[in-house]
Amino acid sequence: MSNPADQDDTPIASVAALASHLAAGSKPRADWRIGTEHEKFGFRLPGAATDGSASHASQAFAPPPYEPGGIADLLEAFAADPRAWEPILDNGNLIGLKGLGVHRGGSISLEPAGQFELSGAPLASLHDTEAELRGHADALRPLAQALGLGFAPLGFHPTATREQMPFMPKSRYAIMRRYMPMVGTLGLDMMLRTCTVQVNLDYASEADMARKLRVALALQPVATALFANSPFKEGRPSGLLSTRAQVWTDTDNARSGMPRLFFEEGFGFERYVEWVLDVPMYFVNRDGRMIDVAGGSFRAWMAGRQPGLEGLEPTLGDFDDHVTTAFTDVRIKRFLEMRGADAGSIPMMVAQSALWIGLLYDDAALAAADALVREQPWERYIALRAEVPARGLDASWPAAAGSRPETGTVRALAARMVSIAGEGLAARGIRGADGEDERRHLAPLLPIVEGAPNQAEMWLQRYHGEWKGDVTRIFLEAAI
């Protein structure tokens, strides 16, 4: 989840003004960029000292605390270069870093249990995205190792219970921690035990936003299956391929999932604003202080009727904060956020960016993806969201016209997506230093759509084979 942003203190005039605020994010094609955010779990390296003096084998692979010798020290290590990172504080606690210089436009932030997140800068090509992710890993590795830490991007923590996960001193998370159990059974798991990779993409207009949203939202369950990377829970197989995705089915359904409204013809910024105004609030940020209004109504606040906020006028900055608490599988801000995938290896995380860029940033590819999605009713995609955590690419799906009956699976649908994405990336024609275009970043997906194991299935094979049932082997093998 993002760091606190600079607040826009413009008073909210109307629902139409909020819609215009989102519409102002529209950009000409030449200014479209790629933003990739990814999270990863920290763990104690085997033999690393946990008290500054002696090693404790029993602490191997345990999640690190905020302090001492944990996440706070790691942030301090990054912040030691004042030309690169500017500290972000919450009640005096270092909880994030704002990028400067070559990192401008990016940031480092913390998820509730210290999952370490890079929010990448808006970049022009997938080649730049790969370089950014690899550069971040190269910078992180020695700083973490000096603290006896490693980091592994996995969708769900493979060994720790809720109680074993630390909690970061970030004010908004204390509010969410209190409220989450009231609205779902798995909200605390979402906060403490999941990691995702997210792709942020631009739109040209309201109509372009709505079209991209419908295509991307319908196909998020397919991305969940392709990039599944969380088959373990508390030291053993969970029976799922994406335990993270299953957690989202009962986190807080008033603000999550695939709302049917988003698929309706005529959907746009104003209808989205009307929807998000009725998403229950979490907090309001005033003068660096978080006011707990969890369960409150932004709409009632705009009308001057929200208890606890008497005398406070809602602003565009407040609305921007509120939008960050809508957890739909594709989220609308002044750009679109793809939110359906588990964190994974660097090649797989770049491949997810490549998939969505290929599908959404070329007109012909977007038209083909739109036609693909419209082959089935929206309800089928919504139902698929509940099926893929367990069945992944083997979940049933109607076979395409003219196809063999045995191709009626999500794997076949994923293959069609990857093919369209490849055409879209070829049309972009952006070549890297090696002379290859962006299609090379789809390479990890090609064997998977042809029948090879995805990340989760590969880990399960390792668990039942060479690991001999020792899930902790995943930490070093998945580490970046």
The verdict on domain 15-478 having CATH code 3.90.550.10 is: no
Decide if 39 contacts 346 (C-beta within 8 A).
Answer: no
pTM of the model: 0.95
Rounded to whole angstroms, what are the CA distances from 22 to 16, 25, 334, 412? Answer: 10, 6, 5, 36
List the pLDDT tens digit at each of the 480 positions of the chain: 455 556 789 999 999 999 999 999 999 999 999 999 999 999 999 987 655 433 445 699 999 999 999 999 999 999 999 999 999 999 999 999 999 999 999 999 999 999 999 999 999 999 999 999 999 999 999 999 999 999 999 999 999 999 999 999 999 999 999 999 999 999 999 999 999 999 999 999 999 999 999 999 999 999 999 999 999 999 999 999 999 999 999 999 999 999 999 999 999 999 999 999 999 999 999 988 999 999 999 999 999 999 999 999 999 999 999 999 999 999 999 999 999 999 999 999 999 999 999 999 999 999 999 999 999 999 999 999 999 999 999 999 998 766 665 568 999 999 999 999 999 999 999 999 999 999 999 999 999 999 999 999 999 999 999 999 999 999 999 999
Q: How many CB atoms lie within 10 A of CB 164?
A: 14
- pLDDT on residue 407: 63
Q: Scan for tokens 């599988």, then name that residue.
A: 329
| Spatial distance between the Cα atoms of 262 and 55, rounded to a whole number of angstroms | 53
Domain locations along the chain:
15-478
Rounded to whole angstroms, what are the CA distances from 424 to 259, 284, 358, 381, 382? Answer: 27, 41, 4, 23, 26
The token pair that represents 20 in the structure block = 């215009």
Q: What is the CA radius of gyration of the chain?
A: 22
- pLDDT on residue 53: 38
The token pair that represents 121 in the structure block = 């800068």
